[in-house]
Amino acid sequence: MSHAVGKRVRGGLVASGAALLLGGCAATTITPPVGASKPLAATSQEQATDVRPAPKVSVIATNPTQPKTVSVLPAWAHLKYALSQPRLRRTKPLIQATQRLLDQGDPQKAIALIHSYRKRRNKENTLAIEYLHVRALTLAGKPKSALDRLKHSARLAHRKPHDQQTHNHLELNLLLILGRYDDALGLADHLETLPSSATLRGSGYKQLWQHLKGLSTQSLRKLQADTTDLALLHWIHLVEVHQQHRFDRYGQSLALANWQKRYPDHPASRYVLPTLVANAPFRIEYPSQIALLLPLNSRYQGEAEAFRSGALFMHESDNHPDQPTIKLYDTGLVHQEIRAIYEKAIAEGADFIIGPLGRQAIDQLVSDKRFPVPTLLIGNPTNPASASPNVYQLGMAPEQDGVQLARRAYAAGHRRALIIFAASDWGRRVSTATSNDWARLGGKIVAQTAVPVTSDHFTHAIRRLFHLDHSAARAAALKKVLTHRLPFKAIPRRRQDVDVIFLFCSRPQAQVINPQIDFLYGHDLPVFSTSHLYHGTQDRLIDLDLDGIILGDMPWILGSNGPRAFRAGGTNNPNTYRGTPL
């Protein structure tokens, strides 16, 4: 089951709708969202409905020492602006639109757009267009084609020093994706021999590190068994050291120091370790005693046990000689006594408190705003403004999950959503929160349906949501008009005015609904859901029916063995090019 990138990828371009006609150039059909001709809705980051003049944007930074200017308008705004310009002035905003499509994770449309204007390139933008094409092919999962395109661009004239740096880092990323690690390491070494600014020193090694630390444990072990390159083996050893002690920050610091002592001349000692050591946890002032305030004997017993187990596991995993002691306090059923329990924990030496858990207990505790020690509330008070500066809040409300999903889906370029939610208080809460935030961002909820919590028959509800009944009715009408058997097979066609689905229901329901979405012609729609669908341990058999659902979770759950492919070089991940000219 995927946590960040599901199996559903929006592929291809919708063939219906308005065509983007670029001065009589190649016929490339791109369908804008419904209503794209209307003024674009402004959001917190898109505070402009007038798309003229076109905002400045660096497709690839021309000077790595200067910050990039990032476009805040969506791709369609740049397209609209391009069509309003004379033919000879369209290429720049089209390049900007391509960049935005890539930022939104839509490489297929980016590739189609590139094909529509690449013949109109000039010596000033030829390489920028070629490099965008390489990035688009990479994001589309075609690294071999991307590498071929990059080799083709190497034969182009008008290359500047920065263009060569860009070329090298794109090539390094592709070599890593293709598993050609010896070649990638050789290229990283070669980059250090080239003249460059101080800010780019070691950028190839940093790119290699970002890729290697994103690999799963199984992939690292296979790479370790397959290579005989000592330098690469030392890199793998560094990743293992970094990951093995991820729950023991003090032990990690010691292990990294030992690695550096063992390989003092390794490039990672110069370019990677300083960043890791700079965040060394022994610089943090640790509490000496932590109090856990949990309602172990209440209706929150399950949640309380989960927090207790997690805290004790982390405590046992920490080898720090000065690690704090943990003391557990059962807050029970009577939330009115929470202040007395809190004060008792402090009197017994607690200098950091985790808890309480439960809205009533939290409201009772924050009512008098007295927090002499740092306190992490497991939940949010009814009145957020009532918390003091010494208080931290760990949000537990399902609404927060929904808001994060809306933002993640919007950032991926989706705008028109369907919602399937359980007909329960929980389902309505998360659905409402998602709908509200989706509208605030500028998206539209096209339709939604509630499914009974006690049922496992959802076919009719999904068919209605997808308008498959309308499709069947059209086929029946044709048969009636033609009065004989149709000369073709009528295949139902789902509605085409949506690009994402939000699914808010229980895990058993999702295991039924997700395959039905695929079966009823929704296989190309990304499905977003909340983290409760994942139980924390991977089981391919049990999770099979949840395959492709996109959900978020905390780094501990993802871990080094979790589904971290989205961190690797072939995805739209900013860490891929961190510290490089890209």
Q: Locate tokens 């809306």: which residue?
A: 406
pLDDT at position 513 is 93
Structure confidence by residue, pLDDT tens digits, 71-80: 456 777 888 8
| Six token digits for residue 44 | 């917190």
Quick one: DSSP state of residue 385?
G
d(CA 282, CA 250): 6
Looking at residues 381-408, what average pLDDT do you find? 83
Rounded average pLDDT over 421-447: 93
Question: What φ, ψ does residue 330 adopt, rounded to 5°?
Answer: -85, 115
Q: How far apart are CA 7 and CA 344, in angstroms?
A: 52
> Which range in 1-10, 21-30, 366-375 is most confidently predicted, on average pLDDT?
366-375
| Overall average pLDDT of the 321-335 stretch | 87
pLDDT digits (tens, 9 = 90+) for 38-61: 333 333 333 333 333 333 333 333
Residue 493 has pLDDT above 60, yes or no: yes
Highest averaged pLDDT of the listed ranges 206-220, 382-396, 423-437? 423-437
pLDDT at 435 over 80: yes
53: CB partners within 8 A, 6+ apart = 81
For residue 25, what pLDDT is reported? 34
122 CB-contact burial (10 Å; exposed 0-12 / middle 13-18 / buried 19+): exposed
**Residue range 524-552: average pLDDT?**
82
Q: Is the pLDDT at 269 greater than 50, yes or no?
A: yes
Q: Quote the tokens at residue 39.
A: 């003024």
Decide if pLDDT at 482 tops 70: no
Distance CA 353, CA 532 (A): 26
Whether 570 shows a pLDDT value over 60: the answer reads no
Q: How is the beta sheet containing 444-451 ordered, strand by strand?
A: 444-451, 416-422, 500-504, 527-529
Mean predicted confidence (pLDDT) in 379-385: 80
Q: Is 275 helix (H, G, I), strand (E, B) or coil?
A: helix
Mean pLDDT of the chain: 76
Neighbours of 8 (CB within 10 A): 21
Q: Whole-structure pTM over 0.75, yes or no? A: no
Domains of the chain by residue range: 215-283, 289-396, 412-558
For 289-396, which CATH class? alpha beta
Helices first, then strands: H and E counts in the chain = 22, 9
8 Å CB contact between 147 and 171 = yes
Instruction: Give the torsion through C-alpha atoms of 99, 101, 104, 108, to 10 deg.
Output: -130
pLDDT recorded at residue 237: 92
**Residue 230 confidence (pLDDT) above 60:** yes
Give the sign of the dihedral formed by CA 188, CA 192, CA 197, CA 198. Answer: positive
**Cα–Cα distance, 517 to 494 (Å, whole number):** 11
Tell me the average pLDDT across 316-337: 84
pLDDT at 118 over 80: no
Banded model confidence at residue 13, pLDDT cuts 50, 70, 90 = very low
Residue with the bigger pLDDT between 174 and 251: it is 174
What is the per-residue burial (b if ≥16 Cβ within 10 Å, else e) of 547-572? ebbbbbbeeeebbbebbbbbbbbbbb
Please tell me the distance from the alpha carbon of residue 305 to that of residue 106, in angstroms, as a whole number: 42
Predicted confidence band at 16 (pLDDT cuts at 50, 70, 90)? very low
Three-state SS for 447? strand
Confidence label for 582 from pLDDT (cuts 50, 70 and 90): low
Architecture of the domain delimited by 412-558: 3-Layer(aba) Sandwich (3.40)
d(CA 59, CA 580): 14
Identify whether the C-beta of residue 22 lies closer than 8 Å to the C-beta of residue 553.
Answer: no
In which band, very low, low, confident or very high, does the pLDDT at 167 lie, cut at 50, 70 and 90?
confident
Cα–Cα distance, 500 to 415 (Å, whole number): 8
177, 144 in Cβ contact below 8 A?
no
Q: How far apart are CA 25 and CA 229, in angstroms?
A: 50
Q: What angle do CA 92, 98, 100 make, to 5 degrees?
A: 110
| Per-residue pLDDT at 454 | 80
412-558: same fold as 289-396? yes
Q: What pLDDT does 8 receive? A: 36
Cα separation, 188 vs 183, in Å, equals 9
